[in-house]
Structure 1
Amino acid sequence: MQPQLQHLDPFNVAGLTARTTNRDESDPEAARIGTLWDRFFGERVYETTPHRIDDMRLYGVYSAYETDAHGAFDITTGVAVADGPATVRIEGGDYLVFTGQGEMPQMVLAVWQAIWHYFDAHPEIRRRYQSDFEAYSGPDQVAIHIGVLTD
């Protein structure tokens, strides 16, 4: 899978947030991301979030990184908003975009595996660890944006 480099302007997402680690996510008893998405859909957060803009995608945002892929981070399930309280900011800058299509959640997990392999194979490409995000344009389509440093 060859990612595409995109430069993005900053924007805001609002929704539900939890703190987790990749280690916790590999343990079904400690994992929080699936439960957060269940709450997001169960409580219909996508319908009730104030200041929503004309962007119908759903977002999974990774932010507030403690260190890198091994430290704690925030995960926010949400929608794009104009502004307001309880928002997480997607930093502007360069992103490598990895796409996938297929049955959830296996497809998104496979895309993340491809991302880990890509960065293992390309140590010269450095992640920013400020904001990364999944953008879902349909029930079986995702574009995962990983912030990178470009010199």
Structure 2
Amino acid sequence: MKIEVIDEKQIFGISVRTTNANEMNPETAKIGKTWQKFDSEVSVDYQGGERIYGVYYDYDSDANGKFTVLAGTEKPNNSLEKVTIQKGKYLVFEGKASTSDDKGRVQAVIDTWGEIWSYFGNSSSEHKRAYKTDFEHYKNQTEINIYISIL
């Protein structure tokens, strides 16, 4: 992991409000359905260099409270919701899928978030989460970077 300073960036997409507790239960999970809706309704020109983002924002408190997730892209689109990734300091966690299919990509995201929860769950971690904006950047079919805002 490394630290990066990110400039403000606009992302356009589809959002949902949820909690981590809801996401652990298949009956109440909403994030996967939001990604499915995004994939079916939004055209992304991957060949032209467009990439997708998962943006986590509007935190009520910490990992236990409600937050909003937006599945989106940088391409402006007035029919989609807009969120701003805040300028600031981020701790970057890198993930890599073992295969380029959906199952491999999903597992890479789950594994990388597991690393993040483990890191920040340790009281002696060097960095503390800011709970401002966090985001997933899907670099290509097999690589993801997850940016966590830090104090």
Superposition TM-score tier, normalisation by shorter sequence: 0.7 to 0.9
Q: Judge conservation of contact 1:12–1:83 (CA < 8 Å) in 2.
A: no
Q: Secondary structure at the match of 1:96?
A: strand
Q: Which has the higher strand share?
A: 1
Q: Judge conservation of contact 2:93–2:112 (CA < 8 Å) in 1.
A: yes
- 1:1-150 mapped onto 2 (5 Å cutoff): 3-46=1-44, 56-81=50-75, 86-102=81-97, 103-121=104-122, 122-149=124-151
List structure 1 runs of 4+ shifted beyond 4 angstroms. Answer: 81-85
Flag structure 2 segments of 5+ consecutive residues without an equivalent: 98-103
CA 1:109/1:99 → structure 2, altered by over 3 Å: closer, same or farther? Answer: same
Identity of aligned residues (%): 36
CA 1:75/1:45 → structure 2, altered by over 3 Å: closer, same or farther? Answer: farther
Could you list the per-position Cα deviations for residues 38-96 of structure 1 after superposition, in whole angstroms to 9, with x for gaps in the alignment?
A: 1111113436xxxxxx8622000000001111000000000114696731010001000
Q: Secondary structure at the match of 1:142?
A: strand
Cα distance in 1 for residues equivalent to 2:66 and 2:90: 21
Cα distance in 1 for residues equivalent to 2:14 and 2:81: 9
CA 1:67/1:56 → structure 2, altered by over 3 Å: closer, same or farther? Answer: same
Q: Judge conservation of contact 1:46–1:78 (CA < 8 Å) in 2.
A: no
1:116 alignment partner AA? W
- The aligned counterpart of 1:50 is none
**Could you say what the CA RMSD is over the residues aligned between the two structures, in angstroms?**
1.9
Flag structure 1 segments of 5+ consecutive residues without an equivalent: 48-53
Q: Secondary structure at the match of 2:139?
A: strand
Q: Judge conservation of contact 2:129–2:150 (CA < 8 Å) in 1.
A: yes
Cα distance in 1 for residues equivalent to 2:76 and 2:40: 24
Q: Judge conservation of contact 1:55–1:80 (CA < 8 Å) in 2.
A: no
